[in-house]
Structure formats: C-alpha cells, structure tokens
Structure 1
C-alpha cells in the first residue's frame, strides 16, 4: 500500500460499507474493477499557454 499524505483520513469499516452501498444504489455510477482501475492513467491536459514566471519584490 502506498504511503498516505499526512492528514489523510481513512474511512472506518462502517463508513466504507456506507460508501459502497451508495455506489451500488446510484444508477449513474459503478465501482471500477481492478483491471479497469489499473488501466487508468494520471493525466494533465496539455495547454498552449506557458506559465509566466513572476517576481514579487519584498
């Protein structure tokens, strides 16, 4: 399991079950299978704009 960021709150077993019941009850969504989850990639959209560096004097 990856290291979690400081301050991450992990749901309790009861909360996790409630979340899963909510997913199952929502007709517009579903829980991803492990195969689907592994296919996902982190994506940052490309942009035509290059960020401009600025300097703010003290």
Structure 2
C-alpha cells in the first residue's frame, strides 16, 4: 500500500486531511474527485499484479 501511495498527495478534508482509511481487513480509498479515485484504484491494481496479491472488491 505504501508503494502505491508513494507519489500520491491527494486528500479529503473533514476537519483534517484524510487520504486513506485502513481497517482490520479492509481498505477504503478516498479521493477528492473521481479522477483521483480512479488513479488510486489503478495504483493499487498495479501493486496487486506486481506482488500477485488477490483483491476482492465489493
């Protein structure tokens, strides 16, 4: 995850800046625009291919 977010500097402000929410076994991506969210999704996708990680999306 850190590798995917290395050059990503977008966040959403709800009193303070948030760019990603992590839970026990889930990750929620947050973007200020749909293109930012698409970029984050693609970055995660590339990392899953590189490290052969299976991701199940809901």
The TM-score bracket by the shorter chain reads: 0.3 to 0.5
- Higher fraction of strand: 2
Mark the structure with the bigger radius of gyration.
Answer: 1
| Higher-RCO chain (CA-CA 8 Å, sequence separation at least 6) | 2
Question: What is the TM-score normalised by the length of structure 1?
Answer: 0.34
When normalised by structure 2's length, the TM-score is 0.34
